[in-house]
Amino acid sequence: MELAIYYSMKLSKFSFVLLLGLLLSLSLFSVNNTAFAGTNDNFTESILPAPVPQSTQAPEPNALVLFLTGLGGMILHFAQRSFEKFKRFFDIFLAVLGLLIASPILLLAAILIKLESKGPVIYRQKRVGKDRKIFRIYKLRSMRLDAEKGTGAVWAKKDDPRATSLGRLLRKTHIDEIPQLINVLKGEMSIVGPRPERPEMIVDFISLIRDYDKRLQIKPGITGIAQVWHKYDETVADVKKKVKYDLLYIRKMSLWVDLRIMANTCAVMLIGKTVR
């Protein structure tokens, strides 16, 4: 009995020591684990970048203006390119239709020109087109064959003495311009646009008239604002006024503007004078 009590006390003391050692080990493990966790968090924070805070503010006004300006420019550029393609299609359609309708008038005019004076029916002359490209314009001959012999390029006049009797009528009604529909088909001219000038005169006009070269940015036309609102050029002042009309057309160029100019051109051909 005493032996059992002795061993029971020994076992209880051993169990107490073992339990105390176990609790001490758990305590040390917990401390070490907490320290490691803190070290690991610091290590992770040192490697990974700090999160960037998301902005919830509206775009700056300047950035918005720049964006809308760029978008507007793209839309304007697309509309301009689309109109240029449509204008070319419209030019070809009207040129073919015009030549078909005007063919009897052209035939009659050709016979009368041959009967009145010597020389070719169709007169060809160098003109300056888009981007300063030189081309030959076609017109019904309205002047004597030697009209510029010894003088070179000179101003045209209202009652030009170089013009024949039939030529004055052709110029007054603008029938002499009909062969330029061939230039339209060739892509050298448009139905509506600035009037093409001769190379000899272009050099002087560019040096004398501000912004004159801007009218060379588009194809020249058979008719235009300057042609229906103004008379024949006789002085540099006349050309300056025409340039203002041409630049106005370039700024306002559209299908509706072209249709109005063509309607006014028909009125000019009927009454024989400008609409203003």
Contacts of 74-83 spanning 24+ positions with Cβ under 8 A = 83/253, 83/254, 83/255
Buried-exposed string 142-173: b where 16+ CB fall within 10 A, e elsewhere: bbbeebeeeeeeeeeeeebeebbebbebbbbe
Residue 253 lies in a domain: yes
Question: Could you give the number of structural domains in the chain?
Answer: 1
Residue 7 lies in a domain: no
- Residue 206 CB coordination number (10 Å): 14
Half-sphere exposure of 124 (CA within 13 A, CB side): 6
Q: Give Cα separations from 241 to 8, 217, 228 (angstroms).
A: 129, 18, 13
Give the pLDDT of residue 84.
83
Give the pLDDT of residue 267.
83
Residue 45 lies in a domain: no
Instruction: Please name the amino acid found at residue 180.
Output: Q
Give the pLDDT of residue 71.
64
Q: Give Cα separations from 153 to 127, 146, 148, 234, 239 (angstroms).
A: 12, 12, 7, 12, 15
Average pLDDT per consecutive 10 residues, the chain (276 residues; last block may be shorter): 47 50 49 45 46 55 68 61 86 96 94 90 93 95 73 61 84 90 96 92 89 92 87 79 92 90 85 59
Residue 123 lies in a domain: yes
Instruction: Please name the amino acid found at residue 270.
Output: L
Residue 15 lies in a domain: no
Provide the domain limits for residue 150.
83-271
